[in-house]
Chain A
Amino acid sequence: MPDSVIFGMEVFLNGLMAGVLYALVALGFVLIYKASGIFNYAQGVMALFAALTLVGIMEGQVPFSHLINAVLGTQVHHFGWHVPALLAVALTVVVMIALAWIVNKLIFRHLVGQEPIILFMATIGLAYFLEGFGDVMWGADIKKLDVGLPQGMNSAIDDVTFGIFGYGFFIDNLDIVATLVAALLVAGLVAFAQYSKHGRAMRAVADDHQAALSVGISLNFIWVMVWSLAGFVALVAGIMWGTKMGVQFSLSLIALKALPVLMLGGFTSIPGAIVGGLIIGVGEKMFEFAIGPLVGGATENWFAYMLALIFLVFRPQGLFGEKIIERV
């Protein structure tokens, strides 16, 4: 087999893995959009905030130490203890649920019935706020996140592929874990939405707010639940991406990576987010591999958007989105 085909296969596999990570972020968007019609731009920043909080708790950082030092002239920075990873994750989940509750209480309860664009702008405002808040709370320096996930090249795959092709594929262990986690998460979410009482209530709210209210479903509770779920998905995405590239500001930009995934898969479909993520992941890696060197590289920045744009012209609701019906 020629070398370029083998390289291509390796790029393809890596693209699939990257796609799963995009899909993880996209999932959070879909959850909130389905249940409340809010296009939550802050999803990426929520992932960043979750990862920052996780690191901060694990390292025993004093929250707002920078601010306290500036105001009081003290020198506090760490409590001096280390929290085990699992406990820290549990605490972070609590923080994300609290965040979901506050966001609903303070912001979206007051914006019920506004136009979607106003809600969208509010989430951008929320993204700005959370970005500043995370930095003030935990400091803006790049942090290492290590919750004990395996990292580095997977030697088993390397050996097997070397045996077949005479060339070992480089597949990161972390990507494999991420794929498994994403698969579990999706299966869990689908099962939750289909079979549990609250999941059914969530789908009812997504269908029709007023009808759901009239049969006795608490909108408030469902929205807090959905935002908590999105916060949990953000935490998982934050752990994966944070382990991969360190916890830093650019983590929040993965939201921008997830947008074309959403467009491709449709805003309202959980399987769509997964399939869209895989298509985008593979597409942009293959494009960069095949065409990138001819046009100066770094095509990953825009390829996903162009692909989604061209695709949408032919199918405006995305791959799995609900058909858009317009009435006058």
Chain B
Amino acid sequence: MFYREAGDFKTSYVDDNQTFPIKFDRYRYYVVLVAAFAVIPFLLNDYWVNAVFLPFLIYSIAAIGLNILVGYCGQVSLGTGGFMAVGAYACYKLMVAFPEISIFFHVIISGGITALVCVLFGLPSLRIKGFYLAVATLAAQFFLVWLFNRVGWFYNYSASGQINAPERTVFGIAVTGAQNPPWSAYLFCLVFTVACAIIARNLTRGMAGRKWMAIRDMDIAAEIIGVNPLKAKLTAFAVSGFFVGISGALFFSVYLGAVEVGEAFGINKSFLVLFMVIIGGLGSIFGSFAGAAFLVLLPVLLKNVLVGGLGWPTDLAAHLEFMIVGSLIIVFLIAEPHGLAQLWRVAKEKLRLWPFPH
């Protein structure tokens, strides 16, 4: 009834090309933004921020980054955990070395450093394809984790081998360290998440995104119509690395505060982010958010139901959680291999005709 293009006249090319061409979508987007920036910060407490909102926002960035690489450019990567570790350690070194510069820039520069590392490990993608590439990116995962574990320079030779985020402020309000109010950490991450989503959305709509998709669909054919595979693949690795690095930096500095690399950025992290991308939907920015929300909320929910509700021991609940996550992934793949984003698309198509489907 209200969800349709009819009657919404576009009078300029800018209007015609906007991200949300349907009026209802556009207003929904504004409402979500206003709620996220102006309403939620007042309602937050420590538990909600640390259990739900921070992981959701940070994983969303990582999922967007990986989605650009896997969903848009078709290069399967299992090295996300390692690349997040690069972001985290770059951020740590920068925070300690240049305390007078705002942490805002530290996070962005760590993204840039990660992009460089990611391009380096993306070079073999020009020769190796498919599963061979997926396994080859595991080299990055294991090598980087080993590097940060063994080379003292990266963790400033601290006795525990951990890195700890010192307290840093933005506009005089602490966002990292132990004393920060929950809403400041939330807003800090939210700014990055929204900025990353907008950048990613517009990149994938533009020339770069079209080249990536051409490479994904068939790289030889893309090469014949004039897409440079070297440039297209490496830019995908760079952009993906940039987002993943930002998420790693935020994960360490704002969310965890102290990190032991093998635990926080192990191979399981790579799989977790890949699950988010697949469950959310390959090649969809909305899907990245949906997948991240799903996999962040599910364990919280299960834990509350099984341990809090039924009073089962926590180790049993943890094992059951594995079973449920595993079977949900399989059920999802069987029922809807294109993920939550596809469900959303179908729902939108239905909404357009509602309530008169014929």
> Could you tell me which A residues sit within 8 Å of B by CB distance?
39, 66-67, 70, 107, 110-111, 114-118, 120-122, 124-133, 135-136, 140, 256, 259-260, 262-263, 267, 295-299, 301-302, 305-306, 308-309, 312-313, 316-318, 324, 326, 328
Contact = CB atoms under 8 A, between A and B. Distances in A.
Contacts of A127: 326
A126 B326 contact: yes
Given A70-B313, A114-B337, A122 B330 contact: yes
* 7 residue pairs, one from A and one from B, having the closest CB atoms: A132-B322, A129-B326, A128-B326, A125-B329, A305-B139, A132-B323, A296-B150
B127 A312 contact: yes
B132 A312 contact: yes
A122 B138 contact: no
B135 A118 contact: no
Contacts of B130: 116
Given A129-B322, A316-B129, A305 B327 contact: no
A131 B326 contact: yes
A318 to B, nearest CB: 8
Contacts of B143: 302, 305-306
A140 B315 contact: yes
A313 B124 contact: yes
Q: Interface majority SS on A: helix, strand, loop or mixed?
A: helix
A132 B316 CA distance: 9
16 contacts: A67-B316, A70-B313, A116-B130, A117-B76, A117-B278, A120-B131, A121-B274, A128-B326, A131-B322, A256-B267, A263-B132, A263-B135, A263-B136, A298-B149, A298-B150, A313-B128
Contact of B146 (A117, A128, A302, A326): A302
A312 B137 CA distance: 12
A260 B132 CA distance: 9
Contact of A132 (B218, B313, B321): B321
B312 interface: yes
A136 B316 CA distance: 7
A302 B333 contact: no
Interface residues of B, number: 49
Given A302-B146, A312-B127, 16 more contacts: A66-B313, A70-B312, A121-B278, A121-B333, A124-B329, A125-B328, A133-B322, A133-B323, A135-B322, A262-B135, A263-B136, A302-B139, A306-B139, A313-B127, A313-B128, A328-B224
Interface of B: 70, 76, 124, 127-132, 134-136, 138-139, 142-143, 145-146, 149-151, 218, 220-221, 224, 267, 271, 274-275, 278, 312-313, 315-316, 319-330, 333-334, 337
Contacts, number: 141
A133 B322 CA distance: 8
A309 to B, nearest CB: 4
B150 A128 contact: no
A132 B131 contact: no
A1 to B, nearest CB: 32
B86 to A, nearest CB: 15
Given A259-B135, A312-B136, A316-B132, A126 B124 contact: no
B124 A312 contact: yes
Given A107-B334, A121-B329, A305-B138, A316 B127 contact: yes
Given A124-B329, A136-B316, A256-B267, A297 B135 contact: no
A25 to B, nearest CB: 14
Contacts of A256: 138, 267
Which of B128, B151, B275, B328 has the most CB atoms of chain A within a 10 A radius of its CB? B128
Contacts of A296: 150-151
Nearest to B134: A120
B273 to A, nearest CB: 12
Contacts of A131: 322, 326
Contacts of B278: 117-118, 121
Contacts of B124: 309, 312-313
B142 A302 contact: yes
Nearest to A128: B326
A61 to B, nearest CB: 15
A98 B263 CA distance: 35
B92 to A, nearest CB: 19
A136 B326 CA distance: 14
Contact of B322 (A66, A116, A128, A308): A128
A298 B148 CA distance: 12
A301 B322 CA distance: 25
Nearest to A39: B131
Given A313-B124, A316-B128, A118 B333 contact: yes
B315 A260 contact: no
Contacts of B324: 132
